[in-house]
Amino acid sequence: MGCVASFNKHCDVCICLLKEYKGEIKKNNYINSNNKKQNKNTTFYKIKLNKALDQLNKDVKYQHESEQLKELNEIYQKLLSLDSERNKNIYNENDINNLNQVIV
């Protein structure tokens, strides 16, 4: 009854990846975003997160899992928006405040 082990496993992986991605964005806000190594790191997390979210989507069987997936996806979308702004060199102090408000 209840829990699907594979869903919880992928959910935990997704949460860890989101935290690491957030850390990369925050770290890179202080560094020139034209540095290819930093962009490579965020690209790595985007690829991993897309795979993890796709796997979660395949594993959804219950309403609460669907809600968790939706919440994780919303957090990911916020992080993508902040990362995109940083990559366009539209950096301002509000970016750090917005990033700190994204709770993972």
Q: Quick check: 29 and 91 in contact, CB under 8 A? A: yes
Which 8-state DSSP code applies to residue 62? S
Domain coordinates of the chain in residue numbers?
5-101
> pLDDT value at position 43?
87
* pLDDT tens string 54-100: 988 988 888 888 999 999 999 999 999 888 877 776 555 555 666 66
Q: What is the pLDDT of residue 1?
A: 32
pLDDT value for 48:
93
Q: What is the pLDDT of residue 46?
A: 92
Q: Long-range pairs for 100-103 at CB < 8 Å and ≥24 separation?
A: 102/22, 102/75, 102/78, 103/75
pLDDT attached to residue 31: 53
pTM of the model: 0.74
17-50: pLDDT as tens digits: 999 998 888 876 655 545 555 556 788 999 999 9
- Give the DSSP letter of residue 36: H
